[in-house]
Amino acid sequence: MSSILNADLHCHSVVSDGTLTPEELAARAAANGVELWALTDHDEIGGQHRAAAAARANGIKYLTGTEISVTFANETVHIVGLGFDPDDAAMSEGLYDTRGGRGKRAQEMSEQLAKVGIQGAYEGALRFVGNPELISRTHFARFLVEGGYCRDTAEVFRKYLTEGKPGYVPHRWATLKDAVNWITAAKGLAVIAHPGRYKFTANEEYALFLEFKAHGGRAIEVVTGSHTPAEYVEYADKALEFGFAASRGSDFHSPGESHCDLGKLPWLPGKLTPVWELLENRIQ
Ligand code: AMP
Ligand code: MN
Ligand code: MN
Ligand code: MN
């Protein structure tokens, strides 16, 4: 399979912090010309059977997907899993545990926001939640926009929900080793999501790539809605340097919020091995 394929292997539905259902996403992906699609909800694979069926109904190919929250060097890193067995019990349990601390974290976020004059944030965020096990910062951001505290969700993150800001509560997620192992033991392939987004030093990023590879990780996202064009070039070079295949995905969450729509991305640079070449026997 060529690198000239409209593959979109990263997006979110109401099963995590997106605003569209898996069925609505599949229809939108098809309308936008996506040929190979994966739904990658945060820490959750509950939407996989629906997404696969909806892809089939819309005549597009499908890979199972998820995006696992990991703590590495005191920073949250996201690991995308593709092409795994969606009924794998160990992976489901691992993800269930990963989702576990979200409720308590959300209540602490709400207490902190109350101290800066924002009342009822927990209840407010809950109104935006589709999956009770998956209350996320994104749902708080939508509540703060609705309440007129900020103009858009990006401003909420800047002012309230990132490290050092009043609504930020640090959290321990899965380990890198566990996340990669859950994916590979379920016959899937692990991908580092949007590597350009982490605030790592060069040494920390190098350690992440090497450890990820040592655990069996095979690819990094190169063309993603979270990268600048300069980062496409930077991470294309790093994929070659470390021997990683390359993935492509919009990270689409919502028509009103996401600046990059499903399937609307530049092609993967031709010199890279597309991740879908390693997953041909997992495509549905
Ligand atoms: P959580 O898993 O609850 O920590 O929430 C992480 C989610 O917040 C990410 O998956 C994004 O959807 C969203 N997010 C993180 N940083 C930003 C940002 N700066 N602007 C908008 N959304 C963000
Ligand atoms: Mn998200
Ligand atoms: Mn992410
Ligand atoms: Mn994402």
Q: Which ligand neighbours the alpha carbon of 258 most closely?
A: 1
In a domain, 167, yes or no: no
In a domain, 187, yes or no: yes
CA angle 138, 113, 67 (to 5 degrees): 25
**Terminal Cα-to-Cα distance of the chain (whole angstroms):** 15
The two three-digit tokens of residue 81, written as one number: 């899993």
Backbone phi and psi for residue 156, each to the nearest 5 degrees, phi listed first = -60, -45
In a domain, 1, yes or no: no
**Mean pLDDT confidence for 116-136:** 98
Q: How confident is the model at residue 112 (pLDDT cuts 50, 70, 90)?
A: very high
On whether both 79 and 189 belong to a single domain, the answer is: yes
Q: pLDDT at position 129, please?
A: 98
Going 99 to 248 to 156 to 159, the CA torsion angle's sign is: positive
Q: How confident is the model at residue 1 (pLDDT cuts 50, 70, 90)?
A: confident
Three-state DSSP state, 245 = strand
CA angle 54, 60, 62 (to 5 degrees): 75
> How far is ligand 2, taken at its centre, from the CA of residue 161, in Å?
13
Q: How confident is the model at residue 18 (pLDDT cuts 50, 70, 90)?
A: very high
On whether both 236 and 193 belong to a single domain, the answer is: yes
Does 16 contact ligand 1 (Cβ within 6 A)? no
**Which residue among 10, 137, 227 is best mutated to probe the pocket of ligand 1, counting the most ligand atoms within 8 A of its Cβ?**
137
pLDDT tens-digit series, residues 38-72 = 999 999 999 999 999 999 999 999 999 999 999 99
On whether both 118 and 81 belong to a single domain, the answer is: no
In a domain, 166, yes or no: no
Nearest CA to ligand 1 atom 4: 137
On whether both 189 and 270 belong to a single domain, the answer is: yes
Three-state DSSP state, 85 = coil
Per-chain mean pLDDT for the chain: 98
On whether both 190 and 257 belong to a single domain, the answer is: yes
In a domain, 107, yes or no: yes
> How far is ligand 1, taken at its centre, from the CA of residue 177, in Å?
23
On whether both 134 and 229 belong to a single domain, the answer is: no
Give the domain extent around 126: 102-161
> How far is ligand 4, taken at its centre, from the CA of residue 10, in Å?
6
In a domain, 79, yes or no: yes
pLDDT tens-digit series, residues 191-222 = 999 999 999 999 999 999 999 999 999 999 99
> How far is ligand 1, taken at its centre, from the CA of residue 250, in Å?
14
- Are the CB atoms for 221 and 248 separated by under 8 Å? yes
Tell me which DSSP letter residue 118 carries.
Answer: -
**Mean pLDDT confidence for 99-126:** 98
On whether both 186 and 274 belong to a single domain, the answer is: yes
In a domain, 120, yes or no: yes
In a domain, 53, yes or no: yes
- Are the CB atoms for 223 and 268 separated by under 8 Å? yes
> How far is ligand 1, taken at its centre, from the CA of residue 137, in Å?
6
CA distance 284 to 279: 10
The pLDDT > 70 percentage for the chain reads 100
> How far is ligand 3, taken at its centre, from the CA of residue 150, in Å?
22
Q: pLDDT at position 3, please?
A: 84
Q: pLDDT at position 2, please?
A: 83
On whether both 138 and 277 belong to a single domain, the answer is: no
pTM: 0.98
Does 6 contact ligand 1 (Cβ within 6 A)? no
Does 153 contact ligand 1 (Cβ within 6 A)? yes
Does 17 contact ligand 1 (Cβ within 6 A)? yes
pLDDT tens-digit series, residues 246-269 = 999 999 999 989 999 999 999 999
Computed on alpha carbons and rounded to an integer, the radius of gyration of the chain in Å comes to: 18
**Mean pLDDT confidence for 82-110:** 98
Whichever domain contains 179, its CATH number is: 3.20.20.140
pLDDT tens-digit series, residues 155-205 = 999 999 999 999 999 999 999 999 999 999 999 999 999 999 999 999 999
- Domain count for the chain, please give it: 2
**Mean pLDDT confidence for 94-123:** 98
Distance of CA 205 to the CA centre of its chain: 18
Q: Which atom of ligand 1 is nearest to the CA of 69?
A: 2
- Are the CB atoms for 16 and 128 separated by under 8 Å? no
On whether both 22 and 85 belong to a single domain, the answer is: yes
CA distance 31 to 226: 22
On whether both 11 and 28 belong to a single domain, the answer is: yes
CA distance 209 to 158: 27
On whether both 181 and 261 belong to a single domain, the answer is: yes
Pairing between strand 61-62 and 65-72? Answer: unpaired
Going 145 to 151 to 154 to 159, the CA torsion angle's sign is: negative
Whichever domain contains 145, its CATH number is: 1.10.150.650
Q: pLDDT at position 265, please?
A: 97
Q: How confident is the model at residue 82 (pLDDT cuts 50, 70, 90)?
A: very high
Q: Which of 141, 161, 181 is the last residue of a domain?
A: 161
On whether both 107 and 222 belong to a single domain, the answer is: no
